[in-house]
Amino acid sequence: MNSNPQDETLVKKYGLALHTATPELGLAISNFAGDSRCQTWNLGRSLATDLHQHLVEFMGPQIWADLAFIAVAKGPGGFTGTRMGMVTARTLAQQLDIPVFAISTLAAVAWAQPPQPPLSKGGLLSIALQMPAQRGQLFGAVYSVNSNSGLTELFPDTVMTAESWQEKLESWENSYQLIEVGSELGWSVSSVLELAYLEWKQGSRPDWSGALPFYGQHPVKGH
């Protein structure tokens, strides 16, 4: 199935990642053979109007036909921004007939963290992440990190009360590193791209129609 050498390394093809789940827009592109770049913009409420212009300017000198796949942060995060990034990624992938990898924003933060040897056992590190949600709740997740194979989901991205999350952590049997995730995550777009590339190398080619946002909560006016 993977007899084509292009499946092992993109070479002249590129992966593009979008992170719009928070007010900080992040874009990254790479052929994973020495040509990579990443950029962030703190756009706030102007993300909705400025996303496409920044994307077009960021792409050069590459063109859309140079893309082999697209990666996008699927949430949790802001409703409007997450939806915009997902719609943009799905539309481009459909037009270009290329895969879309929808990557958790919490997973991307976990992947961006440097290993902490005291907590590492057998090359694995458990990272618990918490992120503020609406109505006083939290998003929580736990991943194990392996620098060679990527992330393993130990506890999926879930919205819950602070009390429930604390109970989950207190009952967790293994050592973990706790990370409090902030509200500006565009900087982690490189991790979104790297996690997608790991899946690409393993032969995954998800169709654009399967890329769905993770909101966790029903949006409220003004979010």
CB 70 within 8 A of CB 18: yes
Q: 30 falls in which pLDDT band (50, 70, 90)? A: very high
Give the model's pLDDT for residue 117: 56
Residue 3 confidence (pLDDT) above 50: no
Nearest residue to 136 via CA among 211, 213, 220: 220
Cα separation, 48 vs 28, in Å, equals 18
Cα separation, 201 vs 88, in Å, equals 24
Nearest residue to 143 via CA among 179, 184, 197: 179
pTM, 2 dp: 0.88
- Structure-token match 């902490």, residue found: 116
| DSSP category for residue 114 | P
Residue 222 confidence (pLDDT) above 80: no
122-146-131-117 Cα dihedral, nearest 10 degrees: 40
List domains and CATH numbers for the chain: 5-104+184-210 (3.30.420.40), 106-180 (3.30.420.200)
Residue 222 identity = G
Report pLDDT digits (tens) over 69-100. Answer: 999 999 999 899 999 999 999 999 999 999 99
Q: Report the percentage of the chain scoring pLDDT > 70.
A: 86
Pairing mode of beta strands 67-73, 150-160: unpaired
